[in-house]
Amino acid sequence: MNGIGTFHHVGVACRSLDREVAAYAALGYAREGAEFDDPGNGIRGVFLAGPGPRIELVVDCPGQHVVEPWLRRGSAMYHVAFEVDELGPAMDALRRATAKLVVRPRPAVAFAGRHISFLMLRNRMLVELIARS
């Protein structure tokens, strides 16, 4: 496989968006747009831009447990995301490389309703695919 798309962001699980925004500010990061609520995917978040890769800070919506399992295991960085022209072919390429489908394609508030999907690589890295349109 020769790449699946364009790198978009690193997803970071946290319990407090404000606390994490302040911590990343020390590294030169700042909010990139407004916070978003996505109850359909069980998360709230905000993107940060700075001197390195874009970061998406994510917390659970009340009553949801999307990122909490990652935090309990001591993992903050829990996914890498790539924009792809089409989800189907990118998902197929990752599955041929033995990735397992974790979340079927569905719309995401953070991307204005564009569809996303998550697959888990053999090394337990979660990969988010984001449809370009």
Torsion angle in degrees (nearest 10) through CA of 96, 98, 104, 110: -100
Q: Which two tokens stand for residue 26?
A: 């020390």
Q: Is residue 37 situated within a structural domain?
A: yes
Q: Residue 75 has what pLDDT? A: 86
Q: Is residue 87 situated within a structural domain?
A: yes
**Least trusted range by pLDDT, from 1-5, 6-10, 97-101:** 1-5
Task: Give the CATH number for residue 37.
Answer: 3.10.180.10
Average pLDDT over residues 5-13: 96
d(CA 44, CA 60) in angstroms, rounded, equals 6
Query: Is the full-model pTM beyond 0.85?
Result: yes
Whether 1 shows a pLDDT value over 60: the answer reads no
Three-state DSSP at 23 gives: helix
Beta bridge partners of 14: none
pLDDT band at 2 (very low <50, low <70, confident <90, very high): low
Tally of structural domains, the chain? 1
> Domain range spanning residue 56?
6-131
